[in-house]
Amino acid sequence: MDVIEMERLRLCPIDAPQDGEPVAIPAGAFPALAVYNVDGQIYVTANTCTHGNAQLTDGYQDGATIECPYHGGAFDIPSGAATTYPCQIPLKTYEVTIEDGWVTIDAPGAPES
């Protein structure tokens, strides 16, 4: 049976995402991510729209909603739910931990057999 080890990823300093100005975390060993500040609460989602290949951090954040820059579809940031057509598939969201002033998430590492 494979056991998936989790590794903690440090994404950005806690003060990097400002209210209404999400921060893009480029893809690397992990898919591209977006870090948001919604009224002082930090959230992390996938940064690629589920409808088209657009970076959501290039879109418009209004409170807890992020609008895709391509077709105007939108998502609820805390839940990842698609809220405006043409988006129908929810965004992947990640549980956030603040550690030593950094926004971190637990991400799956390489599986162990």
Which CATH number does the domain housing residue 59 bear?
2.102.10.10
Q: Tell me the average pLDDT across 65-82.
A: 96
CA dist 11 and 104 (Å) reads 6
Terminal-to-terminal C-alpha distance of the chain: 6
pLDDT in tens, 4-57: 566 788 999 999 999 999 999 997 767 899 999 999 999 999 999 999 889 999
Domain that holds residue 25: 3-112
Which SS3 state, helix, strand or coil, does residue 56 take? helix
| Domains of the chain: total | 1
**pTM, entire model:** 0.88
The DSSP result for 72-103, as a single string, is --EEETTT--EEETT--SPPPEE-EEEETTEE
Q: Are strands 82-84 and 93-94 parallel, antiparallel or unpaired?
A: unpaired
Give me the pLDDT at residue 16, please. 96
